[in-house]
Structure formats: C-alpha cells, structure tokens
Structure 1
Amino acid sequence: MNSSRAFVSLIGAGPGDPGLLTLRGQAALQQADVVLFDYLANAELLRHAPQARTIYVGKKGFSEYISQEEINALIVEQALAGGGQRVARLKGGDVFVFGRGSEEAQACVEAGIAFEIVPGISSAIAAPAYAGIPVTHRGDARSFAVLTGNTKEGGAHYERLSGVDTLVLLMGVRNLGQIAAELIEAGRPADTPAATIQWGTTPQQRVATGTLGTIADEVRRAGLEAPAVTVVGEVARLRSELKWFESPAELGHPLLGKQVAVTRTRDGSSALSDLLRARGAEVLEVPLIRFESSGEPQALQARLRDLSGVDWLALSSNQAVTALFTHLDDLGLDARALGGVRLAAVGPSTARSLREHGLRADFVPSTPGARHLGSDLPARPGEVVLHLTSQVAEAELQEALEERGVVYERAELYRTVPAEPGENELERLKAADVVTLASGSAARHLAALAGNDFKVAVMGPQTAEAAREAGFREVRVAGSPSLEALVEAAAELVRSAPPR
C-alpha cells in the first residue's frame, strides 16, 4: 500500500569528483533513509547520509551485478517499506544523460510514489574539462553531440553527424575501434584529433591522445578501461595547452592519485578531508570510534555540581570539551560553574574547543600529549587535578602527576566504543595509501579491524606511540599540531609510493 511519506530522489552524483555534487543533491542525501548507489557514484558522497542505510546496486559495462529492472523494483520496494521511506538513488553523472534515470522515474510513477529529479554534472562535459579539453571553442567548435558508445543498442547513424564539430562518446571504450572505423567511413577525417579520459575528474584520471584513426590503439596501449569518455574534434588539440588537473606535486597536488583514509568519529569534522582533497587526494572518511554517554552519570554530575577542592580541570580531547558542556547544560549550569578552577588543555586543538565556549585554557603544554601535560603542568604538590576523560584514557597523565606529588582524580565524561564500518567502507579502507589516526583508540581499533599493514599519519607523539604499540611500522608525526601539518605528513608518507 502506498504511503504519503514514500519519496524518491533521483540524484545525479556528478562525474566522480565529490566536490561536484550539487547543493540540492547534498540536501537530498542528508534527508534520506536509504541510499542506492552504483560504481559510477563516488562512495565518498555517502558521508552526506551517515544516518541512512546504503545499498550497493553496482552495474559495470556488460557485467551487471543487478539488472535495471531489479533496481527499479528495489527503489519502489524501499520507498514503500515500513510505512514509507525517503530513498536517494545516487547515479553517476546526470540522471537523464544515458543514465536510465527516466526508467526509474517511470517506475515511481507506476507505483504512485512521489519523486524528484536532481540534475548532476555530466561526465560528457566535466571529464573533457578536467583533461583541458573544452567541448566548444571559438573558431574550432560551435556545436557538440553526446553519443552512447553502447553498440548493443543498434547503429548510431554517424552520417547524420557530419555537421557537428565535436563528438563526445560515453560508454564506448570497449567498442572504440569499431566506432572510429564507422565514423571514418561516414566521412569524418582519420586525422581528426581525439582523446579518451578514464575516471575523469578523479585522482585516478588518465588520458590517452591521438587521432580518430589511432585513438583505439592508443587507448589499448595505455591500458584504459571503462568508465571513459572519448572526445573527437579539433578541440582535443587544446589539451596540450589547457591541461591543468594532472598537475605535478610542486603545483599543489602532492597527493594526486593517492587514497587517504581519514579515521574519525561518526560525527567528526571533515575539515581535514577538505584539506586533503585540495591537495589532490581521494578521501575516505571511516568512523572507527563513536562516543556514548558516561557509564557513571550520577557520580559525574555530583562532581560537576561541586568542584570545591579541585585546583585544575584537565581536558585531554575535543570530545571532552563537548561532553563537559553537554553535562553542564543538562544540570542547568554554564561556564560560570568552572569559575573557581584553572583549565588545562592537552594541546592547541582542545584549547581551541574551549575558546569556542568562551573559555581560555590556563595552560597548554608546548608539546601536545598527556605525558607532557602531566610533566609540565604548573601544579604544586598536594594540589588536585580532576581529569575529565573517557573510560579508556591512557595512564600517562596520572603517572606524571603523581610522580610530582600532585593529587590525581578522574571522572568519566563519556565512553569511547568501536564503530564498525560497512563492508564497502572496509574494502576501500584496505586499499588506502595512507591512514590518518586521531587517537590511540583509533590506532588500536584499526589494527584489530583491518591489520597494521598501513602507513599512518598522526597529529602528536602520544598517538604515534600508541600506533607503534599496535604494530604499525610506518608512522609519521605532523611537524606541528595543525591539520595542515598532518596533511603534509600524509604527503611525505606516500609521495614516492605508487597507489595500493
């Protein structure tokens, strides 16, 4: 039976670069209960729908894992399930450009399900643009046509295209030799410039150039396969002048072609991911840990109500700051409740989190880390330090303080527990060239989940030590406690290594 809540968004995911998703597409993903995606839709876009169940409906060339009819039925089934759901169908490129999106829309019409079309940037234009090839150019090309290279659907009648300046072929790499021969037979000169772009707009982009008469051999020699876009026309000559995306590392893309896995919490910030993408990396955000409420809420709240006798509050993570103010708010309190104590932050990032809540840390060690916080904190013997942390905090802070005669107390603000990545995320994680680790907990969980055969970049020495103890052999520490330095550490790790 139909439901008023059932709704389907047919979303064009763009050609591969996740930054080319439209704002409307992002909003539809954020509202989705279920996301159906295929291999042409960058799986990185699923980060916009962390709450949704994801279903892979991969189709590749003539080797289909699931038929189009089965996809249509699955869209309808998921939209009607449980009294009605919001379904996002994420499709590579544009929904209506050789994407069979119209058939999926028709399935919604037949089932009486409301739907929307969210156009995407077509690879027919974007892939050539990222290869430095405009599909039109004054004096060379005033018109272009987009063709399917799938010869299973019958002849293309290339003789009708004699007046079109630029031809763009989608899905034609397998039949490129036959297509080129038929175009030449239809009257297009064999010396017409041509180029084929594989995985256009992504770090895996590769380009072969030649002429209409030679492009099939050039593609074969370069080992290019689907997905690929072929451009035939005088505009292909402009690539040598306008090539920009495949810039060398010294021009700002040291991570081009590299896969970087960013391990974070489910709700973590993607600021690091944005910096990595700006340096050319393909980024996979993998939640390895998640935070839960304290297992000792009554004891914690009693302590927060009465901080008498406490000289210092020690905060050793951004999450500790977030959790502290959540608990204060639950108690009807605010920052004034901390007025009688001094605040110590484990590093600059935690200090920034405090500033966001209107508080300035009284002490931040020059070298981030619990051990340095414990050894350098200007607390006198007999003073009390209350450490607000999780249940798995390392003992370095306690040991360093007690060695100096400082009284150490601890309260559990939150709990850190493993987060299990999905099967698709786990497979992509195992293929990463480098992994960034935000904490010792993340290092231990990564080793347990996927082994320790990874190059890892970390922010500080404490996480580096935990990573080495977990068995990781190639560990690079950021030169300073900043996201920019962490990106540089990742680049140093993989600069001379080929993609895994």
Structure 2
Amino acid sequence: MTRGKTTEQSQPRGWVSFVGSGPGDPGLLTVRAVELLKRADVVVTELPDHAELVRVVRGATEGGPELVDGGFGEDGQPLTHAARAKVVVKQAKRGLRVVRLMSGDPFLYASGPEEAQACVKAGLAFEIVPGVSSVNAVPAYAGIPLTTKDNREVAVVTCGDKVDWTQYSDARTLVLLSAVGQIGEVSKALVAAGRSPETPVAMTRVGTTTEQATVTSTLAGIAADARAARMAPPAVTVVGDVVGMRDALSWFETKPLFGWRVLVPRTKEQAASLSERLRGYGAVPDEVPTISVEPPRNPQQMDKAVRGLVEGSYEWIAFTSVNAVKAVREKFEEYGLDARAFSGLKIAAVGDKTAQAIADWGLRADLVPSGEQSAAGLLEDWPEYDELLDPINRVFLPRADIATENLVAGLIDLGWECDDVTAYRTVRAAPPPPETREAIKTGKFDAVVFTSSSTVRNLVGIAGKPHPSTVIAVIGPATAKTAEEHGLRVDVLSPTPDIEVLVDALADFGAARRIAMVEAGQPVTKPSDRKPSSRRRAKAE
C-alpha cells in the first residue's frame, strides 16, 4: 500500500497562472506576466492577437509553449465561461505549467473568477497575475484622465446589461463598455436623466495599439459621429468634462509616426534597435531581409589570417561591420580560441555599433573614428606606420566580399601592409511573401528606411520599387544617390550616417507633415492614406 501511495503522490501536478494581458500594448504586461510566459509549457489564449503577443515576449527562441485556443471552440463559436474552464483544467491535469492569458485583468470584467473556481474544484493550484484594465488604460492612451482635483468620482457601466441611467444624472465621469452598438440609445437616456446634451463624449477603439482611433463629440452628436467614423468594437467610451482635456493631453495618437507602417529592409536581428526606435515614435516596423550573410566560398584565406593573428603576425585588426566581428568570433569558436588571442593586438572599429559588438566579446576598440563613422572617418584617425614605434606593419582586415577598396588603399598610403580577407559574403535574400511585395508596389507602406546602397539595390531586385506615395528615408549621401539612380525620390536624408539619427530624421519629417495638416485644417492622414496620383518619383536632375 505504501508503494501504491507513493506512485499516486508522484504524479505531476499542474499549475495555472491566470495572467492579465492588458488592453493590447505588449509594453503594458507586468514583469510577472513576462516571466510566466517565458516559462510556460502551455498558453491558453483568449484573443487571436495573443499568439503574436507570446512570440514578442519570448523572442526568437525555438520551441516555445503549446498554444491552445481558449476563445473559440472547434465550431468557430465563442466558448462559454464553463467551456473555457474545462479547457484550462484539462491542460493543467497534464502536469504542465499553464498560463491562461486573458485580456485586461483576470478579475475585472473577465471570466477569471469562474475559471479559478473550476481549478479549486479540480484540486489544482493557481495564481492570479493582475493586468492593466482597458477601463483606465484606453482613456489614458487617448489623453483623457478619469479623475481631476475637482472630480474624484468615476462609474464604470457595462452597456450590455439592463441599466438604470437615472442614477448617472450627476457630473461624475462615466466609462462605458460595450457601448458602440447602442450609443444612440444610451446618450438619449443620459440626456433624459438630466445630463446636458453638450456633455463631452469620447469613444476610443482598439486602444493602446497603433490602430487606436478616437472620436470626440457630445451626447447629442456622438451617435452620428461614431457612425461617420465607422467605430467598431472593442471600444471604450468616456462621458464627462474630463474629455475636454484631450486637446492638451493627447500624447499617443499625436506621435510623429503614429500608425505608420514602415518597411525595414533588414533581418529582425539586424533591425532590433532600429525597429524599437520606430515603435517609440508610434510606427509599425515590418522587417524584410534583403541580404543573407554566408561564409566565404573559400575559407582557407580566413583560416590563414586567424592563425597569423594568434601567432602575432599583425599589429592591427580593423573591423568595418558587426558582421565582420561575428565572422571572426565564429572562426575563433571553431578553433577553440577566445578573446585572449587578441593580447598585444590593436583593434579598430568603424563605428560605435561595431565597437559595441567588440565590447560584447569582452574586448575594447583602441580606435573608433572621432568624426564620420565610416571607412573614410577611420582613415582620418589612423596613424601612419612608424618603423620605430610599430614592431609590425601588417593589418588584418576581415570584410565582406563586396566591400570597397578605399580603406585598403588608404592604409597602404599610410605605410601599412594590409591582408584584405573575405570573412563573409553578402548575397541577395529570397523574395518576400507575395502580400509583402504587393504592399510595397501599391503603397501600403507609409515609409521605407534604407540603411545602405545594397539595401536599395536588393529590395528593388527582390520586391520591386516602392510606390510613389511611400516616404523614402536614407542613411547617407551614397545611399541617396543609389536610391535616385533607381528612380526613387529621397524625402529624408539622415544628417549623420547613424541608424538612430536616421529614425529621428524620419520622425521629424512626420511631425512637420502632421503640423502642416493641422495648421491647414486638414485631417491628419498617413502617406498610405493619400491618393498619390500627383506624386512622381524622378531621378535627381
């Protein structure tokens, strides 16, 4: 009997975490929510967007949790609270770590209490991780405070229920849920209860996301204005004088690139910092790789150079890209070497990003251009060879197969001998999916950010030219020249060849464009919203 008891007790026990996902913005997840999603074996979702949310949180890690749809059944119909509870209990009984991902907060206008009770009946342990509720998050993203020093009372009303509107005749702020379809009736009922027809009203759909849209009106006009704006669920409606503060406090929808779909012709790995900065300005980056980095066809030259580095044959190694750092590091790992092999060797980096890649390896760049971060800038600061001070006159230059010869020629002019070694090859990537190519050609993208001449050539080669309505932003004069040679008109030129500065320049362009529309009394639109028939891309004359 003892043996039988032990077997029973050793059965794996599941654990359920009811996690609030907030109203839509992944940045509103709590630290605990992110931690649990990263460790989960199973995630029971509630909304179609939850699968992407899990991917964003976990990054590009392979495997990932099993995703189970907790929102709809196999027949495509929404699951009842009881049916959802059965799904959660079934998964937890497998002895796995289950995250039940719920929109908003699990215990606020959600089925969390019913599902947690089902866990209690099944003898399953659980925890509740609160989430940011749309009740306060959506108005905040619309620039509408729910309380002020003069008005401290707020009432939240679900309009799907039978509501006695006479109890809301006073001046307190109302937050209405599920009001889109019946806002006309609700408005009439509030006016009949004693509210002024001129009471300000704001309706915000898909709040906290880059698709957010807000209509401001009055109780007398909101029904017609919401219809004209084609407002649809999910939406949160605020009634009260606090709506008037939106003109001054709107911060999200007024971001310079709000809702712009921006094409980034780089891999997700390469575009991480660029895309993050675009998101900060309200844009939606879409990474499309145009090049693929591959090892050199003949690795012998690289092998010989690395052996020479270890044996002390070089005075300098010059890295002209992050990919060059990666290629040398991979070769070191192949040979079982580490950063100690660089002892006594001077290291040059073409710019701050490359210097950071070197630092991530545990090394420090001895030379980074003080001015322009380019091969020309590197040459400006590179010392001449001095046979009295420099025991060795050789430079190891691991580069791409398509790199220019300017750096090599400049080093030779300074008295150095240069081993110009192909460390990696850049080849054109496969074409993007048909829907992406169609979006590029038909102007569905609001802007495209080119970070090199090769990204221009390769994007046009694999996907065609961007539509005339698309704003073209480039990192420097050489890239601008290549864009113009391909029939593209450059709208934004970065003042310095830096990715972050380039994004800032695009944001400045977007901000100026927005201000011009507001001052002209025009509705603020995105480049993809406009009819571009009058715009033409032309080669610079």
Tell me, yes or no, whether TM beats 0.5.
yes
Match of 1:207 in 2: 214
For the residues of structure 2 that align with 1:418 and 1:44, how far apart are their CA atoms?
A: 27
The aligned residue for residue 26 of structure 1 is 34
Counterpart in the other structure of 1:350 = 354
Q: How does 1:60-139 map to 2 (within 5 A)?
A: 67-68=78-79, 72=84, 90-102=101-113, 116-139=127-150
Call closer, same or farther: CA 1:394–1:332 in 2, change over 3 Å: closer
Deviation of the 1:228 alpha carbon? 1.9
CA-CA distance at 1:487 after TM superposition: 1.7
**Do residues 362 (structure 1) and 348 (structure 2) align?**
no
Provide the secondary structure at the position in 1 that maps to 2:503: helix
- Root mean square deviation of aligned Cα: 5.1
Choose which of 11, 15, 38 in structure 1 pairs with 2:47: 38
Aligned partner of 1:178 in structure 2 is 185
Could you tell me which residue of structure 2 aligns to residue 410 of structure 1? Answer: 421
Mapped partners of 1:474, 1:34: distance in 2: 47
Query: CA offset at residue 124 of structure 1?
Result: 1.2
Does the CA contact (< 8 Å) of 1:135 and 1:166 recur in 2? yes
User: Match for residue 4 of structure 2?
Assistant: none
Partner in structure 2 of residue 255 of structure 1:
257
| CA shift in 2, pair 1:238/1:457, >3 Å | closer
Q: Equivalent pairs: percent with the same residue?
A: 35
Give the deviation of 1:172 after TM superposition. Answer: 1.5
Judging changes above 3 Å, is the alpha-carbon distance between structure 1 residues 322 and 28 closer, same or farther for their aligned structure 2 residues? Answer: farther
| Contact 2:70 2:84 survives alignment (8 Å) | no
Change over 3 Å in CA distance of 1:44–1:158 after alignment to 2: same
CA offsets per residue over residues 61-113 of structure 1, 9 Å max, x none? xxx976236994996599579x8765655544333433445566577778887
How far apart are residue 315 of structure 1 and its match? 1.6
Partner of 2:56: 47
Q: Check the 8 A contact 1:348/1:481 in 2, yes or no.
A: no
2: CA distance, partners of 1:425 / 1:98: 38
Q: Secondary structure at the match of 2:404?
A: helix
Counterpart of 1:228? 235
Matching residue of 2:283: 282
Using the alignment, how far apart are the partners of 2:177 and 2:463 within structure 1? 37
Q: 2: CA distance between counterparts of 1:419 and 1:86? A: 38
Contact 2:350 2:369 in 1 (8 A): yes
Corresponding residue of 2:494? 478
Shift of 1:176: 0.9
What does 1:182-201 align with in structure 2 at a 5 Å threshold? 182-185=189-192, 188=195, 190-201=197-208
Alpha-carbon separation, structure 2, partners of 1:33 and 1:158: 46
Distance, in Å, in 2 between the alignment partners of 1:10 and 1:294 is 50
Structure 1 distance, partners of 2:139, 2:258, is 18
Residues 128-163 of structure 1 show CA distances to partners (whole Å, capped at 9, x for unaligned) of: 233343323344342x232233x3xx5234455567
TM-score between both structures, scaled by the size of structure 1: 0.72
- Cα distance in structure 2, aligned partners of 1:360 and 1:400: 18
SS of residue matched to 2:22: coil
Q: Does 1:316 align with 2:320?
A: yes
Name whichever of 213-222 and 111-120 sits farther off.
Answer: 111-120
| Residue 498, structure 1, aligned to residue 487, structure 2 | no
- Is the deviation greater in 337-346 or in 447-456? 447-456
Would the aligned equivalents of 1:94 and 1:120 in 2 still touch at CA under 8 Å? yes
User: Contact between 1:464 and 1:476, CA under 8 Å: does it hold in 2?
Assistant: no
1:488 aligns with 2:504: yes
- The 2-side partners of 1:404 and 1:125 are apart by 61
Whole-angstrom distance in 1 between the partners of 2:165 and 2:126: 36
Deviation, 1:28, is 2.9
SS in 2 for 1:491: helix
Tell me if the contact between 2:480 and 2:490 (Cα under 8 Å) persists in the aligned partners. Answer: no
Specify the SS of the correspondent of 1:197.
strand
- Aligned-pair distance for 1:168? 0.9
Structure 1 CA distance for aligned equivalents of residues 266 and 318 of structure 2: 22
Question: Gaps spanning 5+ residues in structure 2: where?
Answer: 1-9, 386-391, 514-524, 529-541
8 A Cα contact 1:130 1:243, kept in partner? no
Are 1:147 and 2:157 matched, yes or no? yes
Aligned counterparts of 1:112 and 1:37: Cα–Cα separation in 2: 23
Amino acid at match of 2:308: D
Distance 2:190 2:352 in 1: 62
Kindly state the Cα deviation for residue 316 of structure 1 after the two structures are TM-superposed. Answer: 2.4
- SS at the partner of 1:397? coil
Structure 2 CA distance for partners of 1:77 and 1:188, relative to 1, 3 Å? same
**Aligned residues of 1:264 and 1:287 also touching (Cα < 8 A):** yes
Distance in 2 (CA, whole Å) between partners of 1:360 and 1:432 is 39
Question: Number of paired residues?
Answer: 481
Q: Is the 8 A contact 1:401 1:407 kept in 2?
A: yes
Shift of 1:318: 2.1
Return the alpha-carbon distance in structure 1 between the equivalents of residues 13 and 462 of structure 2: 38
Structure 1, unmatched stretches of 5+, are: none
